[in-house]
Amino acid sequence: MTDISKTKTDPLQQLWDVLEHVHAGMLGVEESGQHMQPMAPFVEKETNSIWFYTRTDSDLVSAVRTGDRAHFCVISKDHDYHACLAGAIDEVKSREHIDKYWSAPVAAWFEGGKDDPALTMLQLKLDDVSIWASTNSSLRFGWEIAKANLTGKEPDLGYHTQLSLPH
């Protein structure tokens, strides 16, 4: 369950906490003409980056050019936290990061393991994040809907914030 007060007081730390439990989100390169596609994120808070394992021959890698921007969108497992993360994206064949995040699920995608010639990584350097946190309490939802219908005022079911991150 999302703590809306934390969204208001420490949204960046909450974002990192939520991302640690997200198994996949939708990644897309701006102006590529491609649809977003599911990708597993690997968070590096120290650099405000998200890393993704992928293949050099993928459509996504072919769409990435130096200086391109991308969006990564996530929804928490309880569906009460939504975030759209944006920033510069680059292909970076970083052995350090390949080793850092390697796991059995990642290995399943690469026949040659860490030395698979088709293995590469994408780094999304976040600079802009938009977050929507809402209640998943059916009691609170019912109360806010009833109150809105009685008063004519919009229901208060969540909080939205936008963050700019340093490069």
CATH number of the domain encompassing residue 68: 2.30.110.10
pLDDT at 24: 96
Query: Which tens digits make up the pLDDT trace of 70-87?
Result: 999 999 988 889 999 999
Domain that holds residue 99: 4-164
Name which of 51, 29, 28 is nearest 119 in CA terms: 51
Query: How does 24-48 read in b/e, with b if 16+ C-beta sit within 10 Å?
Result: ebebbbeebeeebeebbbbbbeeeb
Q: What is the number of structural domains in the chain?
A: 1
Query: Which tens digits make up the pLDDT trace of 101-151?
Result: 999 999 999 999 999 999 999 999 999 999 999 866 666 667 667 877 888
pLDDT at 155: 63
Average pLDDT, the chain: 90
